[in-house]
Amino acid sequence: MAVGAVTAVAALGAGTWLVTASNHDARDGKKGDLPPATTEITRTDLVQSKTVDGHLDYAQRRAIKSPVEGTVTKAAEEGRTVTAGQRLYERDARPVILMYGPTPAFRALKTGDRGPDVLQLERNLRDLGFGASLYVDTRYDRGTEAAVRSWQKAIGIENADGRVGRGDVVFQPGTVRVVSADAALADQIGPEKTVLTVASTRPVVRAQLDQADTGLTVRGTKAEVTLPSGKTAAGKVAGTVRPEAQEGSAEPSQDGITVEVTLDHPRSAMASEDPKATTSVRFISESRKNVLTVPVEAVVALRGENGGYGLQIVQGDTTRMVRVTTGMTAGGRIEVSGSGISEGMTVGVAKQ
**Does residue 217 share a domain with residue 182?**
no
Please, which pLDDT band fits residue 304 given cuts at 50, 70 and 90? Answer: confident
333 forms bridges with which residues in the sheet?
Answer: 295, 330
Q: Which of 260, 286, 312 is the endpoint of a domain? A: 286
pLDDT of residue 30: 60
pLDDT of residue 174: 96
Q: What is the pLDDT of residues 61-99, one digit of tens each?
A: 899 999 999 999 999 999 999 999 999 999 999 999 999
Structural domain harbouring 261: 50-59+202-286
**Does residue 99 share a domain with residue 9?**
no
Q: Do residues 84 and 99 make contact, with C-beta atoms less than 8 angstroms apart? A: yes
Q: Which of 199, 217, 242 is the endpoint of a domain? A: 199
Least confident segment among 93-97, 187-191, 273-277, 321-325: 273-277
CA 6/CA 73 separation, integer angstroms: 67
CATH of the domain at 173: 1.10.101.10
CATH of the domain at 276: 2.40.30.170
**Does residue 148 share a domain with residue 94?**
yes
**Does residue 296 share a domain with residue 230?**
no
Other C-beta atoms lying within 10 Å of the C-beta of residue 256: 15
**Does residue 317 share a domain with residue 214?**
no
Checking 338-344 for CB contacts under 8 A at 24+ apart, the result is: 340/313, 341/41, 341/292, 341/311, 341/313, 342/41, 342/292, 343/41, 343/42, 343/43, 343/292, 344/40, 344/41
Tell me: pLDDT of 32 over 90: no
**Does residue 93 share a domain with residue 190?**
yes
**Does residue 185 share a domain with residue 149?**
yes
Work out how many domains the chain is built from and give that number. Answer: 3
- pLDDT (average), residues 280-298: 94
**Does residue 69 share a domain with residue 54?**
no
**Report field, pTM of the whole predicted structure over 0.75:** no
**Does residue 297 share a domain with residue 279?**
no
pLDDT of residue 254: 57
pLDDT of residue 193: 96
How many angstroms separate the first and last alpha carbons of the chain?
25
CATH of the domain at 308: 2.40.420.20
**Does residue 218 share a domain with residue 188?**
no
**Does residue 262 share a domain with residue 191?**
no
Q: Which of 240, 257, 286 is the endpoint of a domain? A: 286
Please, which pLDDT band fits residue 352 given cuts at 50, 70 and 90? Answer: low
Q: What is the pLDDT of residues 308-344, one digit of tens each?
A: 999 999 999 999 999 999 999 998 999 999 998 999 9
For 268, phi and psi rounded to 5 degrees? -70, -35
